[in-house]
Structures are given as structure tokens and as C-alpha cells.
Amino acid sequence: MSNANSNDLSFVRTEILPERTPPTSAIGVVGWMRANLFSGWFNTLLTLLAILVIYSILSVILPWLISPTWGAQSLDECREIIASTFGPNVDKACWGVINDRWIQLLFGFYPSELYWRPILAFILLWAALAPVLFAEGTPRQFLLVTALYPFVMPWLLWGGTIWTPLAILAGFAIAYGIVRLGASMIGTLSAIILSVVVALIWWLLVAGPLAGQLQSIIPLALTEVTSRDFGGMMLSIVIGVVAIGFSLPIGIILALGRKSNLLIVKALCVGFIEFIRGVPLITLLFVASVLLNIFLPPGTSFDIILRVIIMATIFASAYVAEVIRGGLAALPTGQYEAADALGLDYWRAQRLIIMPQALKISIPGIVSTFIGLFKDTTLVSIIGLLDPLGLSNAIRADTDWNGIVWELYGFIALMFFVFCFSMSRYSMYLERKLQTENR
Amino acid sequence: MKKSLFWGALTAAGLAAGMSSAATLDDVKARGTLNCGVTTGLVGFAAPNANGRWEGFDVAVCRAVAAAVLGDENAIEFVPTTGKTRFTALASGEIDMLARNTTWTFSRDVDLGFEFAGINYYDGQGFMVPKELGVTSAKELNGATVCIQTGTTTELNLADWFRKNNMEYEPVPIETNAEAQQQYLARACDVYTTDSSGLAATRATFEDPTAHVILPEIISKEPLGPLVRHGDNQWGDVVRWTLNALIAAEEFGITSANVEELASEPTDSPEINRMLGTEGDLGEMLGLDKDWAVRAIAAGGNYGEIFARHIGESTPVGLARGLNAQWTEGGLLYAPPFR
């Protein structure tokens, strides 16, 4: 247009200039570095200092880490390899110990021909968790796996007859049936009480002999593995996963109980939470390992891992309960009033209005409690269970590997980091996914 | 006895059978496995190998007892115990015997209600120092910093000994042997003190063991041995005489190699015959069969063989027999007669 009439003087540019590439100092690596690392003399100084610190750390650690000792059979052999390759007085890692013992650090003393069982249990764990963790995108059929997993996992890990978990499962089915049928006949509360009583009688008196009978008719059993064979990372994961799985629902119930208007329920929950939180976990573990042995009649075989799991679960539940109470307290009263105004009864209000919001608020706290619990599982080494840390001590007691410290701790730290970091990342993903307001 | 997790959970609330644990021997036979308490790991004395099989000097005692009672040296459930849990584990019946380098003391024997079945290792507390310090006697350690494990008898022995000799020291408290090694090598302390067997094992792991000396002074008596509960004398006898059989076997020259041959027919030594069951009925008196000692010796060899294999001079631990030689060779090992 401007060319059409050259007399038309315009003071503004009428055509758009062609896009030009930004100056090289503003894009790419250079641009990123200018913006993030060297934007001003102070930041430049900090960057240089940080590089110096990182370099001085890595220059010590990396040469130590890179060490051709993977195939060594003992610490002495490691030292020979290092001395012959790098000359005397060179400090390097001895990775032979990891090569020799990594399977033990993962599985403990679990029979090697049965490793498929914990591995399968671990894979099924993800299948069972999928509908809970990644709610959308998972077929609903996976919920069945989730429901059955608590029965399948102990069977896979400890072995024994399949009729035992099935008999236990039947107890739940019976209880459910009584509630469904009895609710109309004798009222909901009586039906629930009756179902609990019947289920307890079933489990204590009927299920055991029944499982034995069925086993003698149709033998379907896996080789039994005793709890003393559990060890290493597997032990930590078993204790951690079971305690995490049970402490969340128990924690929710405790938190609700603590906010309840019913005096006795409230007193019980407050007492439980405050008592458990007032006692160090290590004390509970000692009670599990030592005191219970003295109180229970001699000859009672009350599985040591089960004792530890129970203690870890009640410990974590108390903390989770307080975290969730924090979430409940953060909800505006209007939410409760709105639920009441809609005519929802207590449980519906909790399920549809209160809990989804309270739990969302509590996610970071809950997950950090879980991470703490998972790391606390290493405390069981104090009562003589061979978790990774306990095993590291046992491995050092082998004359071949006596004197090795950092390699073992480093490997164990790496394993724990993988799990804890994934949990942490997952919690952040969950928070982002559930972020529904203020966007 | 079928151990099931589920029934454990559901019945533990108090329905358990109040079974008396007086007859440990019968329990062990009925169970088919021996529950033996060991350490969670101590060089040369007890440690699991890469296949999870427990090995060591203390473990060998467990294996001998299992072989004598059950005829299978592998019919053992090893229960790792810590210094804090070992006595309750034994007292509560979780384990049948404890072979965990435990010092025989008056109060443990009398007050805690245990029965020491004998002594399988005579230990004592010693000192290790770097050679370059030029110290040749523990009496020259005035003013030294000492790495010491807290909560052990070694801590009390050290205080007693330094006070007796009018010397001062600065303790560096540490928790485990591994920590002690690191602290000592990093020169956080001049001296490391613990049982001399432990010192030898620790020194053997150093890059240059010759740069460190173990001082000649032994400042305490640490007789280590297997123990059982008070009040079950039959079981105590089984453990005691199994240990004695291992010690006597060395004295008589019975080894794992020749025990089968010696037991096949009576020899011209009546005591060997009585021990190996070709004469008399010592096994029946114990509540076992006549081959009990044969199996115990065949499991891991006699005392000397066990010593040489796990902690002797040819191993990295490299302990000399010293006090643990037979009485005929100037040591303290003296098995009562098999008669």
C-alpha cells in the first residue's frame, strides 16, 4: 500500500518486519546460562563458587568410584588389583563386595530357587497399586487384583498351603454376606456386630482345621519359607509396604475418631495417638522382639516379622492420623455445613465431601510420613533382623570383606534413594493431578 | 509344628498353648531343628557367606550340637541376636542355645539364670596402637585417646585398669567395630581396645597390618562359651558334653577324617571307645543314641580343626592357640573324662 502512493507520508511502519533470529547470546545454551548462571556479578561469583565446590567433591569421589575391582573375590584381591593398576597408596572402591553380595542384599537368605516368588509379589504389587495410584487409565478389573493382593502376597512370600489365605478370604465373604442379608432382618448395627463375631469365630476355630482338611484332599502348596530367611531390601520392602498399606486406613479412622463427638471413641483415639507418638519406634520394636516373648506363653510362635510389621503399622498410623487431622482442620467449616445442608449422613459426608479434600491437603505430609516409615525399617537391625544395614554388618563379618564400609553403605543408600525419591516424585504428581482450584 | 503367619496373627492374642519348655531336648527333637542364637556378624566367629550359610567358630558349636542331637548339622535355624536381645531371646525360649561369644560372668550365670555349658574360647581385652607411636607396653599409654565400644564390659575393664595404674585416658565412644576401624585408621584415637581376638581380626583387614602392634598386656579375662537356660539340666548336659567331645577329640587325635574309622570297631583306647559309642552307653545317658559324638566330630572336625579353619593362623584372622591350646600343650582346654 505504501508503495502504491509514494506521497503518502506515514509515521508508523506499515509493514511487518520479517522475524529475525534472536541474538545468539539470548538463546540456546548461552542464553540459558546468561539468564540463569551469570546474570550479574554476584550470581556469576556464586556460580563459579558452586562449580568449584562441585568440582572439588567430584574430583575426590569419581576417581574413587571408578575402580576396576568388580570381579575381585576379597578385599585383599581388590587391593592387589588397585596396587597393580594404579600403584601403591591409591584409595579406590572395592566393588567386588557388591558383585558378590548384591543378591543377598536384595533377597536376604531367601532360597535362591524361589526368587521368582518375591519378584512376582513385587510385580503384582504394582498391578494392585495401579488402580489406587493412577486412578484413570487403569481397567476396573485391576481392582480385583487390589482386593486379592493382601491374601496373595503373604502366600507367595511365606508359602504354605493356598487354602489358608482362601479360608481367611472366606471369613470376609461370610461377614459381608451376614451384613448384606442381616441388615434388613436384624438391623444394620446388629448385623455388623454379628458379622464380626462370626468372622472371628470362623478365623480362630474353623479356618485353620478347614484349610488343613482341604490341603489333605487337594494339596496345593508352595514351599514354606520361614521369616528368618527374609532379609535385605526385601525385608524392608515387605515391612514398609504392609505398614504403609495398613496405616493409611487406620490413620484415617483414628483422625475421624479424634474429631468425633462420641466421648469414648474420642478418648480412645486421642489416647492411642498420643501414647504411640510419645514412644520412640525403637522402644516399640524392642517390645515386639523382647517383651512379647516374655509375656506370651512359651512355645507361642508369633512370627517376628509380623510382630515388627504390627509395631511399624501402629506407629505410622498415629502419625498419619495427625497429618490427616491437619487436613481436616484446614477445611473451612463451610464445607461441613454444606454437607449437612445437603442432607448427607456422617459417612456420606466424609466420603463425598470432607475426605477427598482433606486427603488432598494432607498428601505431602502423608507421603513424607511414609518415606520416614520406609527408612525407619532399617531400625529392625537393632533387634537382630538382617535388613540391608544389618546385612552390611554380617557381610563385613566375612573375613573376605572385613574392613569394607563405604561401598556397602553407598549401595544401600542408592537402593533406599530410588524408593524414597520415587515416592516423593509420585506425591508431587498426585498433587498436580488433584489441583482443582486457583488455576 | 507348622508355623503360619495367619494363625500366628489370629491366635497370638492369648490362645496359645501353655506348653512347658522344660524339656528342650524333646522340643528340639520334635521340631527337627535347633534354634541357635548367634551374633549378627563377627569376623571368624559367625557370619553368613554369599549363599546365606552361616559359618564361624561359634557356629561350629551349634552345628556340632545339631549333628549330635538331630543327626544333621544343617538342621539349624540361626537366630541372629544383638548384644541387647541375646539374653531375652534365650530366656524366652526363642532360641535353644546361645553361641554368641558371650563372656561367662557371675551375674550372667547366677542372676540372669543361665547355664554356661563350658568355654570354647579364652579371650581377654587388649590394646592395638600404630607402630609409629613407638609404644611397647600398655603402661606407656598415659594420656592416650582410646576408641572403645560403649555399653560393653570392655569399657568398665578399661576404666578399672587405668585407675589401678594411676593413668589418665580420653575415651572416644564408638558403637560398632566397623566404626572403630574407621575412627582408628583416621587417627581419631591413638589406641583401640577390645577383645584381643577382635583386635587381631581388625588388624588383619588393614591395608598394612604390620604398621600396627597389639600390645602384650591383656587386662581382663573373657571366657567365651555357649549357654543354655537354667533349670533344664539334661539339655545343658547335651551342649556341655558335645563341646567336651570336640575338645577331647583333639586330645585323643580323633579328627573328622578318621572318626568314622575309629568308630567302626573298638580301638585299644577305652576312653575313645566310650566316647564314640563302641563301648558303654554314654549316649543313652544323655538321651541320645550311641553315635552322638561321632556325628558331632564328623560335622566340623574336632576343636583344633574348627579353630584352624575359622580363626587359626592360616586364616586372615590369624589367631595363635595361646590359652586355647590343650592342657597337654600348655593351654587351658581340659575336657573332663568320658567315663
Phi first, then psi: give them for residue B78, nearest 5 degrees: -80, 130
Residue A307 has pLDDT above 70, yes or no: yes
Residue in this structure with the C-alpha cell 502366600, named with its chain if needed: A155
CA-CA distance, A352 to A374, in Å (whole number)? Answer: 30
Q: What span, in angstroms and rounded, lies between the C-alpha atoms of B264 and B272?
A: 12
State how far residue B320 is from chain A, nearest Cα, in angstroms: 17
CA distance B324 to B326: 7
pLDDT score, position B11: 40
Question: Helix, strand, coil shares of chain A as percentages rounded to 5?
Answer: 75, 0, 25
Residues 6+ apart with CB under 8 A from B1: A301, B30, B31
Q: Say whether residue B30 is in contact with chain A using an 8 A CB cutoff.
A: no
Q: What is the CA A12 to chain-centroid distance, rounded?
A: 64
Structure confidence at residue A215 (pLDDT): 82
Residue range A110-122, pLDDT digits in tens? 988 899 999 999 9
Per DSSP, what are the bridge partners of residue B228?
B115
Quick one: average pLDDT of B29-44?
90
Residue A149, amino acid: Y
Say yes or no to pLDDT of B17 above 70: no
The conformation of residue A229, written as its DSSP 8-state character, comes to G
Q: 3-state DSSP call for residue B292?
A: helix
Distance CA B87, CA A384 (A): 12
- Domain residue ranges of chain B, discontinuous segments joined by +: 22-122+223-329, 125-220
Chain A, nearest residue to B42 by Cα: A397
**Is the pLDDT reported for residue B31 higher than 50?**
yes
Q: Do A396 and B41 count as a contact with CB atoms less than 8 A apart? A: yes
Confidence of residue B203 (pLDDT cuts 50, 70, 90): confident
Whether B181 and chain A come into contact, CB under 8 Å, resolves to yes
What are the distances in angstroms from CA B271 to CA B68, B276, B327?
18, 9, 17
pLDDT of residue A267: 95
Mean residue pLDDT of chain B comes to: 87
Nearest C-alpha of chain A: how many angstroms from B19? 6
More confident residue, A83 or B1: A83
CA nearest to B180 within chain A:
A403
Dump pLDDT digits (tens) for B51-60. 889 999 999 9
Q: How is residue A262 written as a grid cell?
A: 462420641
When CB atoms are compared, the residue of A168, A299, A382 closest to B93 is A299
Residue of A nearest to B318 (CA): A399
- Number of Cβ atoms within 10 Å of the Cβ of A210: 16
Q: Does A108 touch chain B (CB under 8 A)?
A: yes
- The reply to whether A165 touches chain B by the CB within 8 Å rule is yes
Q: Which of A228, A286, A390 sits opposite B79 (nearest CB)?
A: A228
- The β-bridge partners of B125 are B195
Residue reference for cell 509395631: A311
Q: Outline where DSSP puts E strands in A344-429.
A: none
Mutate to test the interface with B, among A393, A395, A401, A404 (most CBs of B within 10 A): A393
CB within 8 Å: B206 and A403: yes
Chosen from B1, B2, B4 to mutate, greatest number of chain A CBs within 10 A: B4
For residue A4, what pLDDT band results from cuts at 50, 70 and 90?
low
Q: Specify the pLDDT at position A56.
A: 96
Task: Say if the Cβ atoms of B17 and A301 lie within 8 Å.
Answer: no
CB A131 within 8 A of CB A143: yes
Q: Could you tell me which CATH class the domain B22-122+223-329 is placed in?
A: alpha beta
Asked if B317 and A399 come within 8 Å (Cβ–Cβ), the reply is yes
User: Which fold would CATH assign to domain A227-434?
Assistant: MetI-like fold (1.10.3720)
Contact in structure between A365 and A428 (CB atoms under 8 Å): no
d(CA B250, CA A309): 47
What pLDDT band is residue B19 in, cutting at 50, 70 and 90? Answer: very low
- Max Cα distance, chain A (Å): 112
Would you call B79 and A386 a contact, using CB atoms and an 8 Å cutoff?
Answer: no
**Is B97 strand, coil or helix?**
strand
pLDDT value at position A255? 94
Q: What pLDDT does B14 receive?
A: 35
| Per-residue pLDDT tens digits for B268-284 | 999 999 999 998 899 99
Q: What is the pLDDT of residue B151?
A: 66
- Which range has the worst mean pLDDT, A434-438, B52-56, B114-118? A434-438
Other Cβ atoms within 10 Å of A283 Cβ, number: 13
Domain ranges, ordered by start, for chain A: 25-66, 160-222, 227-434
Q: Determine whether B308 is exposed, middle or buried from the number of CB atoms within 10 Å of its CB (0-12, 13-18, 19+).
A: middle
Question: How far lies A28's CA from each of A31, A32, A38, A50, B309, in Å?
Answer: 5, 6, 14, 22, 66
Reported CATH class of domain B125-220:
alpha beta
Convert the pLDDT of each residue in A35-46 to its tens digit. Answer: 888 888 999 999
Contact criterion met (CB < 8 Å) for B92 and A298: yes
Output b/e per residue, A237-250; b: 16+ Cβ within 10 A. Answer: bbbbbbbbbbbbeb
Chain B: give the shortest CA distance to residue A368, in Å.
Answer: 29
Highest mean pLDDT among A21-30, A173-182, A407-416, B175-184: A407-416
- In this structure, the strands spanning A160-161 and A221-222 are antiparallel
Is the predicted pLDDT of residue B22 greater than 70, yes or no?
Answer: no
